[in-house]
Every structure is written in structure tokens, then in C-alpha cells.
Amino acid sequence: MPSQLVDKYFRIESLPHIWCPGCGNGIVTRSIVKAIDNLGLDQDKVCIVSGIGCSSRASGYLDFNTIHTTHGRALAFATGIKFANPDLHVIVITGDGDCAAIGGNHLIHAARRNIDITTVVFNNNIYGMTGGQYSPTTPTGDKGTTAPYGNIDANFDLCDLAKAAGATYVSRATVYAANMIIKQVEDGVKNKGFSFIETITTCPTYYGRKNKKGDAVDMMTYLKENTINKTAYDKLPEEKRENKIVVGELYKGQRPEYVEKYNKIIESF
Ligand SMILES: Cc1ncc(C[n+]2csc(CCOP(=O)(O)OP(=O)(O)O)c2C)c(N)n1
Ligand code: SF4
């Protein structure tokens, strides 16, 4: 990362970070910072909210208004912050466990309300911080410390979930293509409503090791070879669609934003 971005947006005194070699969390974090820089947002008008997990540690490294909350509750805190300070650009950083297991209820209601928050999920398909338990996005059949013989649950498609719950911007990208993450975070922040960006990231230490996915380079190669843009995917015959990671803007809608609706009621009295 160019040093001026580090100097401007990172709390140097909080580094080095805790992430393992080959972890994709740095790529997503850097992409969020680059998107904020590209948008020219005032640093003091950005609030980064995270839960608990390896990914959620990102908030502590970044020099904005930041809050490192409790596991699964980032969106609940973010909702309060946005209500109290509608001028802030609120960006939530959350892991797949944080967002879709303990925090799943907050996710569906934030999306349902279409509150103007941009949520970036770092989906590594596992609980990284606590040692590799399976999460709601661990593919069926894959292993975790709590599923040593293979996970029998059906895994969530987080983007389908967010769209069905009411998000007005939904997209997916992988850490193999960081430029796509940057563009999606920019588009998510520009969307006046609930934006949901799923980034597929690498955890070689737990997900990779438990599922014999090789090293970080092998995991990156897998992302490269199995990713397909939504437009191309829609043209594929059914039999060629299996196991593809569909990336790009997956949904864009328009509905009134929650805080604006609420404030109109307050002003009417
Ligand atoms: C209420 C509560 N329950 C459980 C935990 C333990 N815990 C901390 S992080 C975590 C899961 C982390 O997985 P994920 O959210 O996917 O993030 P990652 O570490 O993979 O980035 C759990 C279960 C906790 N801190 N608080
Ligand atoms: S355990 Fe996994 S998610 Fe956590 S820092 Fe290491 S590689 Fe990254």
C-alpha cells in the first residue's frame, strides 16, 4: 500500500496487525481504505463499526471514528450511531460468523429497514479467531473443529439473504480481485440505504488447513479459477453453474431510507 495511505488512514501505533501470513483480511481492509480515499470522504465523517473476530480487528488499525463492539452486535451499534449522527458515513466490518450466526437477526432487520449503512462482510467460511468452528457460510460437507466429519448444515448465500431481507445494494467480490472490492465499497457508500458487500477472503490457517485447500497461493488460485461475473454466469447452462463464485453487483433497488423517514416524522411535530 502506498505509504501516504498508511500514514493518513492507519493508526501506526496499533501495528503490526494480528493476521496470519496469507490471510485475506489485509486486502479487504486496504480496499475499504482505498474506496474512502477515492470518494474523498472527510475522515472525521466516517465511522467504522466492527464486531468481534479476526476481521473485526480491522477497526482498531484504522484512523477514523471507530468502535470495536461485541460479537454479532456491530449492526445494532451502527444503527444507533447512524440515528444519532445521520451525517456520518457508517461502515460495518464483520465476519461471516459475526454477521450471519450471532448477528443474523441484526442483519435482516438492518436490511429490512434500509438504513444507510454499508456492511462489508469478510467471509472466510469459518470462525477464524476462535480456532476454526464452522459458520453459517461453511459449505455443506466442509470441515471445522465443530464439524470434524463434515458440516451437515446447508450454507447461507449471504447476498441472497441480504437482498431478500431488503438491502438496496448487494454485491460480491473476492480478495483475488481487490479492485472490484474497492469499486463495490464506493458504490455501497454512495447508495442511500442498506448496502451489503460480501468479500470472499482466505483463511489458510483454519478453513484452508481443515479442508486441505493448500496454502494461501493455492487458495488465491482457487478464487481466480472459480470466479465468474454475474452477466457471464446468467448465460451459463445449468450444469456448468455448480460451485461458481458469482461476483459483481448482484442487486440494486430503491426504497426510502430509514433515518430520513424517521426524521420526517419527528419534524412533523
Ligand atoms: C457473545 C460472544 N459469543 C462468542 C464469542 C466468541 N467468539 C469470538 S470471535 C467468534 C467467531 C469469529 O468468527 P467470524 O465472525 O466469522 O470472524 P473471523 O474471526 O473469521 O474473522 C466467536 C464465536 C464472543 N466473543 N462473544
Ligand atoms: S485465523 Fe484465519 S482469519 Fe484469522 S488471521 Fe489467521 S488466516 Fe486470518
Indicate the pLDDT class of residue 2, thresholds 50, 70 and 90.
low
pLDDT value for 3: 81
Q: Is the CB of 125 under 6 A from ligand 2?
A: no
Q: Among all chains, which residue has been given the C-alpha cell 430503491? A: 254
Residues near 66 by Cβ (< 8 Å), separated by ≥ 6?
47, 48, 49, 50, 59, 60
Contact 11, 191 (CB under 8 A): no
Closest of 124, 126, 121 to residue 151, by C-alpha: 126
Which helix (H) or strand (E) segment is 228 a member of?
strand 227-229
Residue 103: CB within 6 Å of ligand 1?
no
Count of residues in the chain:
269
Mean pLDDT score, 60-83:
98
pLDDT in tens, 148-173: 999 999 999 999 999 999 999 999 99
Question: If phi over 0 gives left and psi between -120 and 50 gives alpha, with beta otherwise, what is residue 72?
Answer: left
**Terminal Cα-to-Cα distance of the chain (whole angstroms):** 50
Question: What DSSP state is assigned to residue 215?
Answer: S
**What's the pTM value of the predicted model, to 2 decimals?**
0.98
Regarding the beta carbon of 110 and ligand 1, being less than 6 Å apart is answered: no
- 69 phi-psi bin (left φ>0, alpha ψ -120 to 50, beta other): beta
pLDDT tens by residue, 85-142: 999 999 999 999 999 999 999 999 999 999 999 999 999 999 999 999 999 999 999 9
Residue 1 pLDDT greater than 80, yes or no: no
Quick: pLDDT tens for 185-213.
999 999 999 999 999 999 999 999 999 99
The C-alpha atoms of residue 127 and residue 133 are separated, in whole angstroms, by 5
Angstrom distance (rounded) from CA 160 to CA 142: 21
* Residue from 27, 130, 137 to probe ligand 1 pocket by mutation (most atoms less than 8 Å from CB): 130
When the pLDDT of each residue in the chain is averaged and rounded to a whole number, the result is 97
Cβ–ligand 1 distance for 97 under 6 Å, the answer yes
- Virtual CA dihedral for 129, 131, 132, 135, nearest 10 degrees? -50
CB distance 95 to ligand 2 below 6 Å? no
The widest CA-to-CA distance across the chain, in whole angstroms, is 62
Residues linked to residue 68 through DSSP beta bridges, in sequence order: 50
From the CA of 93, how far away is ligand 2's center (Å)?
Answer: 15
Strands 46-50 and 89-95: parallel
Q: CB of 124 closer than 6 A to ligand 1?
A: yes
Question: What's CA 166's distance to the chain center, in Å?
Answer: 17
Residue 10 has pLDDT above 90, yes or no: yes
How many whole angstroms from 74 Cα to the centroid of ligand 2? 20
Cα 122 to ligand 2 centroid, rounded to whole Å: 11
Mean pLDDT of 41-58: 98
Tell me if 64 sits within 8 A of 42, measured CB to CB. Answer: no
